[in-house]
Amino acid sequence: MNVAHRIKTNHKYTPELRQVSKETILLRSLLQKSREFFNSGKTRDIEFRLAQLKKLREAVSANKGQILKALGDDLKKPGFEAYTSEIGMLFQEIDYASAHLKQWTRHRTVGTPTALAPAKSRIVPEPYGMVLIIGPWNYPFQLTMAPLVGAIGAGNTAVVKPSELAPATSEVLAGIIGAAFDARYITVVQGGVDITHELLVEKFDYIFFTGGTEIGKIILQAASNHLTPVTLELGGKSPVIVDKDASLDMAAKKIVWGKFINAGQTCLAPDYLLVHHEVKSELLERIKRYIHEFYGDNPKQSKSYGRIVNERHFHRITRLLRSGAKIIGGRADLSQLYIEPTVIDEVTLNQPLMKEEIFGPILPVMTYRNLNDALSIVKSLPKPLALYIFSNNKKTVEQVTSGTSSGGVCVNDLVVQIGNYYLPYGGVGASGMGAYHGKASFDTFSHYKSIMIRSRFIDIPRRYPPYEKRNKGFLRRISG
């Protein structure tokens, strides 16, 4: 059995330490092997790639129980949520990529301008080489493995760095990959910020990062040292707008589900609610009813409600409870890392709740009278990962979708758009750059190389010097 490479370091990163540390030497040798494996050309073979995707699926399938247990240990994820959002989604990505890979890898023949004819021109997707995938802790399995599907499909070798804040999942993920793959081909490096810095000093051919906006800046800066292209899947404040003609019951039900799944620690969760003043009280009444229906009298006892990942995030989120007027929930218990599903009214843009991504089970509410006022609020904040609008009026939906910028939009639902592999998934501006899922994952990890093959038989002499001799008439014409 191949055991994935595993480097856990305690030392603080400094350039001097890097030069002498054993971890650095181990890391470099690992990367050297990964590069050699890529250079052997093995990963360019389509049958090889398909076989690896199959292996990945089988390995995940064989370890479903372990994965669910680890997600329970790290985040108290309810089994149903964990299976559908972490394992089921991954299977979907693997199956879709496997079914379409041959089509995606085909060379595309394109035209050639007359001035360059005769020639044959084509566009060929080729793997970047050795890629680095850095994962977050909130959906720690799926958000680390789904990019890997793209990396494999496109023919790269990969180094995978799962989040240290979901240690049980990181361990299981390393075990699965270590057992399934040659460590020169795909390897897992476990560790914290220091090891991520160690990795970022090295040269990769592509970096795929999922995490917070501030860390995204560090990644982009580090990547610039090697001119390494990146995808940054970041977060932000995704608004949900509920207009006066929306189906209120459906909106309330879906908002409660999308906000409180994984205890609000979902990058695509609605961060704050903008509701038309005429329907506010009815919507909030229904939200209250659905929180009760989903999680019972005491959500702490509910098997369908998760926990906050660690004490640092618990304190960060509970500090936010101090703003506005709590109208639903608000209780918290540090010993269980539990924060109740909470709705806060009378929120203003200058309160802490609206100054940062909440990433926890608190829904701030703001009211608007005119849709343009709601859109002004959305536009005054950095571009979000998602924007949600509940409305039965096509004009309203059009006004919102065309009048704002966000990674994506979902109308009359939330979060579920991530499951549509026909739609590229990614942010814009502060919520990220680049996208993946389905074909977009293959594209992300591929360089589209342009190839032109010219005829050997025709070579027009006019392009060669001395120009005065070969282009007399032309030069006379352009000089007037």
Whose CA is closest to 339, among 359, 364, 322, 314?
314
- Give yes or no: 233 in active site: yes
Measured between alpha carbons, how far apart are the two ends of the chain, in Å? 77
Contact yes or no for 129/157 (Cβ under 8 A): yes
Whose CA is closest to 387, among 251, 211, 236, 232?
236
Residue (223 or 275) nearer to ligand NAD, CB? 223
| Rounded Cα distance, 370 and 215, in Å | 36
Least CB distance to ligand NAD at residue 162 (A): 7
Q: In which element (H, E) is residue 27 found?
A: helix 22-39
Contact yes or no for 315/259 (Cβ under 8 A): no
Least CB distance to ligand NAD at residue 15 (A): 15
| Rounded Cα distance, 376 and 403, in Å | 10
Contact yes or no for 144/160 (Cβ under 8 A): yes
Residue (125 or 236) nearer to ligand NAD, CB? 236
Sign of the dihedral defined by the CA atoms of residues 216, 221, 225, 231, in that order: positive
Tokens matching residue 132: 């680095």
Q: For residue 4, what is the DSSP state?
A: P
Amino acid at 161: K
Angle, helices 213-224 vs 193-201, to 10°: value is 30
Tokens matching residue 397: 């939906």
Residue (84 or 367) nearer to ligand NAD, CB? 84
Residue (60 or 132) nearer to ligand NAD, CB? 132
Strand order in the sheet with 408-411: 325-328, 342-345, 362-368, 272-276, 239-242, 386-390, 408-411
Least CB distance to ligand NAD at residue 158 (A): 15
Among 171, 267, 340, 410, the one annotated catalytic: 267
Least CB distance to ligand NAD at residue 138 (A): 5
Longest Cα–Cα distance of the chain, Å, equals: 92
Residue (234 or 256) nearer to ligand NAD, CB? 234
Least CB distance to ligand NAD at residue 449 (A): 28
Residue (243 or 271) nearer to ligand NAD, CB? 271
Least CB distance to ligand NAD at residue 379 (A): 20
| Rounded Cα distance, 465 and 471, in Å | 9
Q: Parallel, antiparallel, or unpaired: how do β-strands 272-276 and 362-368 relate?
A: parallel
Among 23, 86, 171, 233, the one annotated catalytic: 233
Contact yes or no for 57/84 (Cβ under 8 A): no
Amino acid at 199: L
Least CB distance to ligand NAD at residue 231 (A): 10
Residue (74 or 243) nearer to ligand NAD, CB? 74
Q: DSSP string spanning 8-26? A: ---SPP-HHHHHH-HHHHH
Report the residue number whose CB is nearest to ligand NAD: 235
Residue (21 or 170) nearer to ligand NAD, CB? 170
Contact yes or no for 96/149 (Cβ under 8 A): no
Q: For residue 207, what is the DSSP state?
A: E
Residue (312 or 379) nearer to ligand NAD, CB? 312
Least CB distance to ligand NAD at residue 269 (A): 9
- Which residues lie near ligand NAD (CB under 6 A)? 134-138, 143, 161, 163-165, 192-193, 196-197, 210-212, 215, 218, 233-235, 267, 357, 359, 385, 427, 432
Angle, helices 64-75 vs 167-180, to 10°: value is 160
- Give yes or no: 267 in active site: yes
Active site residues: 233, 267
